[in-house]
């Protein structure tokens, strides 16, 4: 399972938690929530590792593209050397090699942009999920704190009764 699955599981656990009577608070199994949070914590480095792998793949694609460009350029040079005797053919070969170099550079740039956009989109989605999770956790903590304070507050009738006896 990945981070998204675990966060969804945590969300369901909190949403399905038993409500406290006359309160917006709910009861969740602490060990289940802590286990899920711990699993998420352990999965995060794996997600970062996956992002690193994507970056490494991008660099590999760029390197392969540069190697392919170099191979094409070398082939064009050897072809051009064979055709030096015919000036117009030589000029055409040089133009073709330059066009190929430009095409490879354009393709490499396009692939780099697509890879960067893909990684950015994944990281943005991950950031949104983390922000939502933090909000859910904060709401849950607020609910738990509010429930504790309500339980500790004396009932209004008892306060009035003690006040009347003191007069």
**Each residue of 21-78: pLDDT tens digit?**
888 888 888 888 888 888 888 877 766 667 777 777 777 878 888 898 999 999 888 8
143 in a structural domain: yes
Residue 85 reports pLDDT greater than 80: no
SS3 state of residue 19 = strand
> Looking at the predicted structure, is the pLDDT value of residue 102 above 90?
yes
Tell me what pLDDT residue 114 has: 94
Average per-residue pLDDT in the chain?
82
% the chain with pLDDT above 70? 84
Report yes or no on 33 lying in a domain: yes
Q: Does pTM surpass 0.75? A: no
Query: What 3-state DSSP class applies to 26?
Result: strand
Residue 165 lies in a domain: no
Which of 68-98 are b and which e, b meaning 16 or more Cβ less than 10 Å from the residue's Cβ? ebeebeeebeeebeebeeeeeebeebeeebe
- Does 64 reside within a domain? yes
- Looking at the 3D structure of the chain, how many domains does it have? 1
Residue 166 lies in a domain: no
Mean per-residue pLDDT for 95-114?
Answer: 94
Point out the least confidently predicted range of 31-35, 141-145, 152-156: 152-156
Q: Is residue 42 part of a domain?
A: yes
160 assigned to some structural domain:
no
For residue 88, being part of any structural domain is answered with yes
Domain that holds residue 28: 3-148
């Amino acid at each position: 399972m990945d981070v998204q699955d675990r966060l969804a599981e945590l969300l369901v656990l909190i949403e399905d938690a038993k409500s406290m009577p006359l309160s917006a608070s709910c009861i969740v199994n602490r060990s289940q929530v802590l286990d899920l949070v711990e699993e998420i914590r352990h999965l995060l480095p794996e997600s970062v590792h996956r992002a690193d792998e994507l970056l490494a793949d991008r660099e590999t694609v760029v390197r392969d593209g540069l190697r392919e460009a170099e191979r094409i350029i070398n082939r064009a040079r050897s072809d051009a050397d064979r055709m030096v005797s015919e000036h117009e053919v030589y000029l055409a070969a040089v133009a073709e090699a330059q066009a190929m170099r430009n095409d490879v550079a354009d393709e490499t740039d396009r692939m780099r942009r697509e890879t960067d956009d893909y990684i950015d989109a994944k990281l943005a989605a991950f950031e949104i999920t983390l922000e939502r999770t933090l909000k859910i956790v904060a709401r849950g903590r607020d609910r738990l704190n509010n429930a504790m304070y309500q339980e500790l507050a004396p009932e209004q009738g008892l306060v009035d009764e003690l006040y009347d006896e003191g007069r």
